[in-house]
Amino acid sequence: MSNEATVHGHPEVATTHDAQHDEHGEHHHHQSFITKYVFSMDHKMICKQFLITGIIWAIIGGLMSVLFRLQLGYPDAHFKFLEDILGSKWAKGGQIQPEFYYALVTMHGTILVFFVLTGGLSGTFANFLIPLQIGARDMASPMLNMLSYWFFFGASCVMFSSLFVETGPASGGWTSYPPLSALGDASEGSKTGMDLWIVAMALFVVSSLLGGLNYISTVLNMRTKGMSMTRLPLTIWALFFTAVLGVLSFPVLLSGFILLLFDRHGGTSFYLSDIFLASTGKALPNEGGSAILYQHLFWFLGHPEVYIIILPAMGLVSEVMSVNSRKPIFGYMAMVGSLFAIAILAFLVWAHHMFVTGLNPFLGSVFVLLTLLIAVPSAIKVFNWITTLWRGNIRFTPAMLFAIGFVSTFISGGLTGIFLGNSTLDIQLHDTYFVIAHFHIVMGVSGILGMFAGIYHWFPKMYGRYMNNTLAYIHFWVTLAGAYLIFWPMHYEGLAGMPRRYLDYSNWISFNQFGDLNRFISTVAMITFAVQLLFVFNFFYSIFKGRRVMTRNPWGATTLEWTAPIRPGHGNWPGEIPEVHRWPYDYAKDGRDFIPQTEPLGANESAH
């Protein structure tokens, strides 16, 4: 019996159930635990699967950063407990060993970039919001959607298992540049760990592609009646462009990985040439390969990837900001246009990661120009967020605070991007802490703040309960202050030329003046990490014990997801899918606080 038929059969039953927050709602067909919670094809359940997997990864990845910050802040200290936990190979005498340090930073980057801020962020919110906000019962292909999660799960398992192999996980940096990543003899992490890394990433790419295909065709084909493209909430626009970026760039990354795999095991030399390995004392037979080729293939994904991270956050923030300012988003079409411009430019700037690889200076100057062009759409977006706040009737909900925090970090991190986009300045700044500070603030912190904004805002819709506000406020203020206190000082270290990827600067005369600063950063990092655990507690506690949501539309928002029952069943709306009559940002209009998208136009209104 199909859900739809059931619903049409007993609409009034469905409504009563809904009012009582019945777990089963209008959802009468029988589902076992397995089909409901594990191999679910309901986009809302898949969203939760992505979210919780992402949270677990974020804890692991965050913990890694605490470990290597411990080393950077206290290079001379002996933490006996580390040796007890990690064993004498990785933490001999309680000190983090060089190989382990590299493994930590590599896995921290891989996990946070791909498994948290791509899988966790896009996977969660594209799955949750696309069908609910465009008025669809589910994705275009629920089956592919389910597969997308299970490929992600498989990738997660392989990546997680690589932490436990004898030679350790991949440790050649999250970018896995050859020759280091191509030669098993080059380092411990380039052995089994690297193979597992490639396999996990290949699975991850498949997951992203399956998800992305679905998101694109759902947005373009499954919109409800009246939902024209220009009536889409900005979240959907952002998630749509994100999916396009992923679908076009991930396959190229996969190509690069396939060539890498053949270099590792097939004896080819796509990336290898004229190498003498000190560890084995042997000259390798490989000739004619080009390590730069890998960088091109990698960064052709790698740069769009940062927009894959930031665009969903931008979309979430736009929506949260408009709802909580009780004002229409300023410059809706400019917001869409700038998303589009960013999506195009994303493919034309990859070589700015390669300014110091011996790139032709003329080519470099083209990439400088294109890179700096991104400042234009980014500035448009920032301007529009600020003007949305301007004279708004602001409600400082936790989600709103995180959204404002996002704008703050996006500005301060974006400005340093202008420094780094210049090929001449990059000679000094390349591979220094300045780069670390830049991308952590503009991509890492902004991405995660946007994600938090989304979680706090849509949690009531996901679980039918609220998160605790007090804990949320503590979480926000400590996170924002912590993020700045961690990364702001790194700019100074970077300007002074302090390079990244070293585990101990104490014997380096030029940079041991930063010893105290490093200790400060490490301390703040630990506090900030602890506060994230507060969020994790709040999240899981609220799923079961949070205050119940009693009205359908707790935030007074206009978009369609708030017209669905408090705990929607599979199919989202009992009865007909609502029809859309207006754009999603009718706030403070005609003397009314807000007008839902489903309300027909009044007598004096023109279509919009």
In this structure, the number of other CB atoms found within 10 A of the CB of residue 225 comes to 11
d(CA 271, CA 177): 9
Nearer to other proteins among residue 285 and residue 600 (C-beta): 285
The pair of structure tokens assigned to 310 is: 């930031």
| DSSP label at residue 400 | H
Q: Which of 588, 592, 589, 583 is nearest to 326 (CA)?
A: 588
d(CA 248, CA 21): 42
**CA dihedral for 232, 236, 238, 243, sign (positive or negative):** negative
Chain residues that interact with other proteins, rule: CB under 8 A = 1-4, 29, 41, 136-138, 140-144, 209, 212-214, 216-218, 220-225, 247-252, 254-256, 258-259, 262, 266-270, 272-273, 285-290, 293, 296-297, 300, 570-571, 577
Cβ at position 117, least distance to other proteins in Å: 21
Cβ at position 293, least distance to other proteins in Å: 6
Cβ at position 258, least distance to other proteins in Å: 6
Q: Which of 158, 122, 127 is nearest to 141 (CA)?
A: 127
Cβ at position 589, least distance to other proteins in Å: 27
Cβ at position 190, least distance to other proteins in Å: 19
Nearer to other proteins among residue 246 and residue 312 (C-beta): 246
Instruction: Check: CB of residue 564 under 8 Å from CB of residue 132.
Output: yes
| DSSP label at residue 602 | -
Cβ at position 377, least distance to other proteins in Å: 23
Cβ at position 47, least distance to other proteins in Å: 17
Nearer to other proteins among residue 208 and residue 518 (C-beta): 208
Cβ at position 71, least distance to other proteins in Å: 37
The pair of structure tokens assigned to 150 is: 């299970």
CB-side neighbour CA atoms (13 Å) of 541: 12
Cβ at position 112, least distance to other proteins in Å: 25
Q: How far is CA 420 from CA 161, 165, 304, 496, in A?
A: 36, 37, 17, 15
The pair of structure tokens assigned to 258 is: 């396939």
d(CA 583, CA 231): 4
Instruction: Check: CB of residue 167 under 8 Å from CB of residue 148.
Output: no
Cβ at position 154, least distance to other proteins in Å: 18
Cβ at position 404, least distance to other proteins in Å: 35
Nearer to other proteins among residue 225 and residue 395 (C-beta): 225
**CA dihedral for 514, 515, 518, 524, sign (positive or negative):** negative
- Give the helix/strand (H/E) hosting 479: helix 469-495
Residues 6+ apart with CB under 8 A from 138: 41, 42, 43, 131, 145, 570, 571, 572
Cβ at position 384, least distance to other proteins in Å: 29
Nearer to other proteins among residue 63 and residue 247 (C-beta): 247
Phi then psi for 519, rounded to 5 degrees? -65, -40
CA 161 to chain centre: 22
Instruction: Check: CB of residue 339 under 8 Å from CB of residue 387.
Output: no
DSSP string, 510-545: TTGGGHHHHHHHHHHHHHHHHHHHHHHHHHHHHHHH
Nearer to other proteins among residue 94 and residue 251 (C-beta): 251
| DSSP label at residue 421 | T
Nearer to other proteins among residue 273 and residue 512 (C-beta): 273
